[in-house]
Amino acid sequence: MATNPGYRFVIADDHPLFRGALRQTLEGLFDGVVIAEAGSLEAVSKILEEGDEIDLVLLDLNMPGVRGYSGLMYLRAQFPTVPVVVVSANEDPGTIRRCMEFGAAGFVPKSLGTDTIREALSTVMAGDLWTPADVDLASMPADETAKLVQRLSTLTPQQVRVLMMLSEGLLNKQIAYELGVSEATVKAHVSAILQKLGVESRTQAVIAASKIEVGHWQSVGV
The answer to whether 102 and 188 have CB atoms below 8 angstroms apart is no
202 binds DNA (CB under 7 A): yes
Site string for a copy of itself, 128-167 (x = CB under 8 A): --------------------------------------xx
Given DNA, a copy of itself, none, residue 67, with its beta carbon under 5 to 8 Å by kind, binds a copy of itself
Which of positions 51-70 make contact with a copy of itself (CB under 8 A)? 61-62, 67
Smallest distance from the beta carbon of 100 to a copy of itself, in angstroms? 17
Residue 150 or 201: which CB sits closer to DNA?
201
C-alpha of 73 from chain center: 5
Smallest distance from the beta carbon of 56 to a copy of itself, in angstroms? 21
Given DNA, a copy of itself, none, residue 158, with its beta carbon under 5 to 8 Å by kind, binds DNA
76 binds DNA (CB under 7 A): no
Among 184, 198, 207, 220, binds DNA (CB under 7 A): 184
171 binds a copy of itself (CB under 8 A): yes
Among 157, 168, 177, 198, binds DNA (CB under 7 A): 157
Smallest distance from the beta carbon of 21 to a copy of itself, in angstroms? 17
* Neighbour-count burial of 48, counting CB atoms closer than 10 A to its CB (0-12 exposed, 13-18 middle, 19+ buried): buried
Among 17, 126, 133, 222, binds a copy of itself (CB under 8 A): 222
